[in-house]
Amino acid sequence: MRIIIEKDYESLSKKASLLVASQILLKPDSVLGLATGSTPLGMYKNLIEMYKRNEVDFSKVTTFNLDEYYGLSPDHPQSYNSYMKNNFFDHINIPPFKCHLPKGNAKNVVTECYTYEDKISKCGGIDFQVLGIGENGHIGFNEPDDSLNVLTNLVDLRSQTIEANSRFFESSCQVPKQAISIGIATIMKAKKILLLASGENKAEAIAQMTSGHVTTKVPASLLQTHQDLILLVDEQAGKLLK
């Protein structure tokens, strides 16, 4: 694992965008795994600016998002599909048919999970996976548990996650209680992983995921066994790192 500690959120976002852009420069038809939430917003903003300056070309890139709320249609304002369009896809030259997210309103969720996983493998797997981390150590929506899903699955969100995500909704009772999330193996099979964390509220999760021990109670701790992981944190999120 390579650990990079940046001074603040702004420099973390700048570095994250440079790492993603470098991946695309080296492999223009990269398959990117993407995350939503607050953490990657600065990275997306910088990538849009780089695109406008002709420094990066997304026309051959394919993307797969980590997750989507179950029960929300793609055009729901709080869906991750809407988030990705508003914060990234609508501002760059990526063809819409190359942007993939699980369908939160799929009639048959089992088929949807299988189909999503299958699409990822047919594209050759993920070249470069961007991850955030939950305060409880979740990655994607793989929540701490006695066992974890290997592949894409319907998952129950923990109350802590629902509470943390209620800031995007009018109240916590509007936050969906389930999501479709890619599995641990889908993430671990990515050729490179970039995990971003900013702020003091992530410091404990970052300390635990670098502890030298692996446990399903801290799903991100499994990343310690990945061959090519960059952990990019700001000083606050990295303050418990030894």
Residues in touch with ligand F6R (CB under 6 A): 35-39, 66-67, 132-134, 138-141
Q: Is 68 a residue of the active site?
A: no
Q: Is 127 a residue of the active site?
A: no
Residue nearest to ligand F6R (CB): 132
CB-wise, 61 or 133, nearer to ligand F6R? 133
CB-wise, 55 or 135, nearer to ligand F6R? 135
d(CA 74, CA 227): 34
Which residue in 143, 153, 226, 234 is the catalytic one? 143
Nearest approach, Cβ of residue 75 and ligand F6R (Å): 18
Nearest approach, Cβ of residue 169 and ligand F6R (Å): 13
d(CA 163, CA 226): 30
| Edge-first strand listing for the sheet containing 62-65 | 2-6, 229-234, 192-197, 128-131, 31-34, 62-65, 99-100
CB-wise, 55 or 168, nearer to ligand F6R? 168
H-type helices in the chain, by residue range? 9-26, 41-52, 80-87, 109-122, 159-165, 184-188, 203-209
Q: Is 6 a residue of the active site?
A: no
Which residue in 81, 136, 149, 153 is the catalytic one? 136
d(CA 80, CA 101): 8
Please give the positions annotated as active site. Answer: 67, 136, 138, 143
